[in-house]
Amino acid sequence: MEIKIGIVTLNREITIETDRSAEDVERELAEVLAHEHGVFSITDEKGNRFVIPADKIGYLEFSALQPQPIGFGRR
């Protein structure tokens, strides 16, 4: 699963790949937003951890990873 995270104060989004489901990530973010100074953290497939103040998250965009074509074949 690829997740794009839009941050309120940044011009570009953060893109990460994770094996977590969209529902799991949404549920965790909702729980964190319930706290006044909540912090959202997520770890990507490479083990990199991202920690973001939850109130600075503008949006999450979820997309399934598409297999990359190999070679020069036509679609």
Residue 69 clears pLDDT 80, i.e. is over it: no
> Which tokens belong to 70?
């190999």
Whether pTM > 0.95 for this model: the answer is no
Model pLDDT for residues 25-64, shown as the tens digit of each residue: 999 999 999 988 999 999 999 999 999 999 999 999 999 8
Handedness of CA 67, 71, 72, 75 (dihedral sign): negative
What is the domain partition of the chain in residue ranges?
A: 2-63
Count CB atoms within 10 A of the CB of residue 42. Answer: 20
> Which tokens belong to 69?
């074509």
**CA–CA distance from 65 to each of 16, 45, 57 (Å)?**
11, 13, 22
Residue 49's identity, in one-letter code, is R
pLDDT at residue number 75: 57
Residue 72's identity, in one-letter code, is F
